Structure 1
């Protein structure tokens, strides 16, 4: 009886996603910061998704006693044991068109009895994709001038804006940031040259 209750409670978890998506409460800002800055935190995040799916598979097998229905979704679970493979798949899903196709596929499988576990597993992975930091933010974190201050509220807000920036225009932002850094570097070189010339004139 307890397993049936836990199994039934897994499906309403999808209803929480709209309330947490792009939420800027302090707790969610801390979550965005940790996900963007900590590799260990991201690894724990993917393992929690895997643990959730494994629990679902156990409940489903205990109730329906049909292991053939779990074969397609089990392949997805085995792939998620590798964090690097899971992360690459998540970034593949972080495209609006791919995400919509995945949502349609997940909903379709939910209404086909033998593919219901696969539809649920795809839905969990899509929800996990929504709350994974964008590739743009990960690339910006590698730049020296993008050192976010963990305790600064303004920096956390800026980080939360880039967290869900999935479009490919991020490449242009990176190039613009590189150009600004080179411009500042050239200005510093020119200032140093002017100072050196000034010292030489004073000596003369």
Structure 2
């Protein structure tokens, strides 16, 4: 084999490892699969499977796996290119339950629901009985209440905290966010 060809191939393989790590951060399933295949082809090593996230955005009201947009994690960058170039979000899966949410731009869905990837997050509903069709946001200790209140204008009527639906005094998003965010901070002390 030509030594220049080998050098080019090795350079490509080294670049693919970098591409894989960037893809893993972006959460795009297509990107991850492509980068993993390149890594397998270059090194013969099969990478460990990507762990499933507890919260995911879908371009499907029924959260079909083939319509997965992104898995969300607490540190997900909602303004990343993957989010801003994605199709609109129609459904969100939280803790194994699919919610048919009002269709919205994916970066907004990310801001509203990424906290749900924290198992102890509080889910906010525009329903006193926490009807699944009325899920409007999730809050944990890292939620930016100002940013969330700019994208969620619905009032919060009910919350699910510790697995229980609680009918709360109706509150605007910022007040509810601050209240439940502060509860996280208090519990951790």
For normalisation by structure 2, the TM-score amounts to: 0.33
Higher Cα Rg, which structure: 1
Between Structure 1 and Structure 2, the one with more strand by share is 2
Between Structure 1 and Structure 2, the one with more helix by share is 1
The higher relative CO (CA closer than 8 Å, separation ≥ 6) is in 1
For normalisation by structure 1, the TM-score amounts to: 0.31
